[in-house]
């Protein structure tokens, strides 16, 4: 009979589970003795790499040798789709703020397919680009609407680092995880994706080489295969190498972009309490002196110039200025002064010590007064530009400057509100909203169409019509529907109708020269499509306004000066 102690020894012992639970992260001691939680690891990096490689290849196919059109919208929305598909493959939940930001980015990118005017395109592209960067650094934590300017900068720098090292780090992490946790799963998704990617990379050069051999062996196959060669453009081997490197480089960067979004944004950043990034080092005395001096300077400027700010043409004549001199003199200086004032205010708000309520109130009052006087000077710049437009008409830069000043005034008002409410940490998000609103306003305003309408109305009221501007390439095809609408207006003066007919004939000839064939599918643009339809359907009417033939090309005479619409082939 066994003893009691021996029976105890025979009892089963509690042992830990030999199959530990699956973990998304592992502890890697970066600093000896200090455990650190490693970032999340992609489970299916090869599928993501395959998707971004196909996107990079698509960008190469639709950008080079093709007219700009829908390419930016295609790229941005495909990249957004890859982000959301990848998050689903990785079983990551995307919060509502990130979804809303993605929708705004998508809308801004799609609008580039409907406007050709340069300032509008720039604003839309800038917002969608900055929006993509913000989405990449806040995809999973949903903090895109609460980030401060410091997070924009610091997280942006982290994103740059991820773009540089994301591909090798992502593949190395995936390989380590695969060896540790998926050793017994030979048919894993990552291995299948890697096999697909390797197969494509190996098959492409083999298909190309053997295809060339077969094409040289059979004339019928050669005619069919030449279509593929024309699409790939193999006639320049040295260029093919550069474009292949472009595809690889873009794939590398896009993978790092997606890798950062899926592995670096899972945890929320500590935004509260709102501690300054740099400890304030300016005393209230210094800031009071700076703000008071600037307020006195701006007040003196406003008082001295009040007569000329708002009295209009009468005081221009009294002062001996022309419209152009009055409008140009100081316009850009006033706009730059407003921007610098915003930067000064932000700097002082960040670096000034305001320990008690009295100091905070004094600073807010002085800063708000400074911003308010800046707004008055901005009104002066707005008035100067209005007088110039009343005399000489609208251009893209003048109308865009008007809209820009309105939104700059909105930023000033927001700065005053944020200063009084002591919520300046919302400035970054406010600026993003202003940029989006600026781009959307230009898009829905349709800058070129508005310019055409205003300038024709200005000429109909007795002003001078800038025929060269309406007929020139500086006014995009966004304006074509408005020009035809004015041309069909029965109330239009006969001389203006003849001028518009000549301008439309000029634009039609240049459009046919620049667009001899049907547009490439990725180059489709709504404004060009509408202009092509109008020029084709109205060609019989435009034939009544023929262009003159010159040695340099075809065009017309304006005030004894030659205006060329279509340059001859020898000069082009």
What confidence tens digit (pLDDT) does each residue in 343-373 have?
888 888 878 887 778 888 888 888 888 888 8
Give pLDDT, residue 8: 44
**Mean pLDDT of all residues in 506-527:** 90
Per-residue pLDDT at 485 exceeds 80: yes
**Mean pLDDT of all residues in 18-34:** 40
The set of residues, in sequence order, having a beta carbon less than 8 Å from that of 359 and lying 6+ positions away, is 284, 353
Poorest-pLDDT segment among 100-109, 181-190, 346-355, 490-499: 181-190
Per-residue pLDDT at 145 exceeds 80: yes
Q: How far is CA 560 from CA 110, 220, 565, in A?
A: 44, 59, 16
Per-residue pLDDT at 226 exceeds 90: no
Per-residue pLDDT at 264 exceeds 70: yes
Per-residue pLDDT at 386 exceeds 90: no
Half-sphere exposure of 269 (CA within 13 A, CB side): 20
Query: Are the CB atoms for 263 and 45 separated by under 8 Å?
Result: no
**Mean pLDDT of all residues in 445-462:** 92
Q: Which 8-state DSSP code applies to residue 554?
A: E
Give pLDDT, residue 26: 38
Name the residue ranges covered by the structural domains of the chain: 45-263, 284-445, 448-567
Per-residue pLDDT at 439 exceeds 90: yes
d(CA 128, CA 122): 10
Give pLDDT, residue 259: 94
In tens, the pLDDT along 59-95 reads 998 998 889 999 999 999 999 999 999 999 999 999 9
- Tell whether omega for the bond before 273 is within 30 degrees of 0, i.e. cis: yes
d(CA 422, CA 569): 64
Give pLDDT, residue 16: 46
Q: What is the mean pLDDT of the chain?
A: 80
- Stated length of the chain: 572
Higher pLDDT, 311 or 215: 215
Give pLDDT, residue 428: 80
Closest by alpha carbon to 152, among 532, 432, 373, 421? 432
Per-residue pLDDT at 185 exceeds 80: no
Percentage with pLDDT > 70 across the chain: 77
Query: Are the CB atoms for 112 and 144 separated by under 8 Å?
Result: no
Give pLDDT, residue 32: 37
Instruction: List, in sequence order, the alpha helices (H) in 11-143.
Output: 45-63, 71-89, 96-111, 118-136
Instruction: List, in sequence order, the alpha helices (H) in 311-330.
Output: 313-319, 323-328
The set of residues, in sequence order, having a beta carbon less than 8 Å from that of 491 and lying 6+ positions away, is 460
**Mean pLDDT of all residues in 531-535:** 95
Give pLDDT, residue 430: 83
Higher pLDDT, 393 or 138: 138
d(CA 244, CA 234): 11
Burial class (CB within 10 angstroms; exposed 0-12, middle 13-18, buried 19+) of 94: middle
Read off the pLDDT band of 525 (50, 70, 90): very high
Give pLDDT, residue 402: 85
Give pLDDT, residue 391: 73
Q: Please measure the distance between the N-terminal and C-terminal CA atoms of the chain and give it in whole angstroms.
A: 111
Query: Are the CB atoms for 280 and 353 separated by under 8 Å?
Result: yes
**Mean pLDDT of all residues in 287-298:** 89
Higher pLDDT, 113 or 550: 113
Poorest-pLDDT segment among 199-213, 217-231, 475-489, 515-529: 217-231
């Amino acid at each position: 009979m066994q003893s009691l102690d021996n029976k105890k020894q025979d009892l089963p012992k509690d042992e830990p589970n030999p199959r530990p639970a699956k973990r998304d992260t592992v502890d890697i001691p970066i600093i000896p003795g200090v455990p650190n939680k490693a970032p999340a690891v992609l489970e299916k990096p090869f599928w993501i790499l395959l998707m971004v490689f196909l996107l990079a290849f698509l960008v190469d196919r639709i950008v080079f040798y093709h007219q700009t059109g829908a390419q930016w919208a295609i790229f941005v929305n495909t990249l957004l789709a890859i982000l959301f598909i990848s998050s689903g493959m990785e079983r990551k939940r995307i919060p509502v703020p990130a979804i809303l930001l993605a929708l705004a980015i998508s809308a801004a990118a799609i609008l580039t397919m409907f406007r050709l005017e340069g300032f509008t395109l720039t604003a839309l592209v800038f917002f969608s680009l900055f929006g993509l960067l913000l989405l990449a650094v806040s995809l999973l934590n949903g903090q895109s609407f609460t980030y401060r300017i410091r997070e924009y900068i610091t997280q942006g720098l982290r994103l740059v680092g991820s773009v540089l090292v994301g591909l090798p780090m992502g593949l190395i992490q995936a390989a380590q995880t695969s060896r540790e946790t998926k050793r017994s799963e030979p048919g894993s998704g990552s291995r299948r994706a890697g096999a697909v990617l390797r197969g494509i990379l190996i098959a492409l050069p083999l298909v190309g080489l053997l295809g060339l051999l077969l094409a040289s062996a059979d004339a019928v196959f050669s005619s069919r295969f030449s279509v593929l060669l024309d699409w790939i453009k193999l006639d320049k081997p040295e260029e093919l190498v550069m474009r292949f490197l472009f595809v690889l480089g873009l794939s590398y960067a896009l993978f790092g972009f997606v890798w950062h979004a899926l592995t670096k944004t899972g945890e929320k950043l500590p935004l509260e309490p709102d501690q300054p990034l740099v400890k304030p080092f300016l005393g209230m005395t210094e800031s009071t002196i700076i703000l008071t001096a600037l307020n006195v300077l701006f007040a003196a400027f406003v008082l001295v110039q009040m007569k000329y700010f708002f009295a209009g043409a009468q005081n221009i004549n009294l002062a001996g200025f022309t419209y152009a001199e009055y409008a140009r003199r100081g316009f850009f200086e006033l706009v730059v002064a407003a921007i610098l004032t915003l930067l000064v205010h932000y700097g002082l708000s960040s670096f000034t010590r305001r320990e008690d309520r009295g100091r905070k109130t004094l600073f807010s009052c002085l800063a708000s007064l400074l911003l308010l006087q800046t707004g008055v000077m901005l009104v002066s710049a707005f008035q100067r530009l209005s007088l110039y437009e009343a005399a000489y008409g609208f251009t893209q830069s003048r109308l865009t400057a008007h809209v820009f000043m309105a939104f700059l005034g909105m930023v000033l008002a927001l700065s005053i509100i944020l200063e009084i409410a002591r919520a300046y940490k919302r400035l970054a998000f406010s600026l993003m909203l202003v940029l989006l609103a600026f781009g959307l306003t230009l898009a829905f305003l349709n800058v070129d169409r508005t310019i055409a309408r205003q300038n024709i109305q200005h000429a109909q009221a007795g002003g001078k019509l800038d025929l060269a501007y309406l007929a020139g390439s500086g006014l995009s095809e966004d304006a074509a529907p408005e020009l035809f609408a004015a041309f069909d207006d029965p109330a239009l003066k006969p001389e203006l109708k003849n001028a518009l007919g000549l301008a439309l004939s000029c634009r039609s000839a240049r459009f046919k020269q620049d667009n001899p064939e049907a547009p490439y599918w990725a180059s489709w643009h709504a404004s060009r499509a509408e202009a092509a339809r109008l020029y084709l359907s109205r060609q019989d009417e435009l034939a009544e306004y023929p262009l003159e033939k010159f040695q340099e090309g075809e065009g017309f005479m304006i005030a004894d000066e030659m205006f060329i619409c279509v340059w001859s082939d020898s000069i082009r």
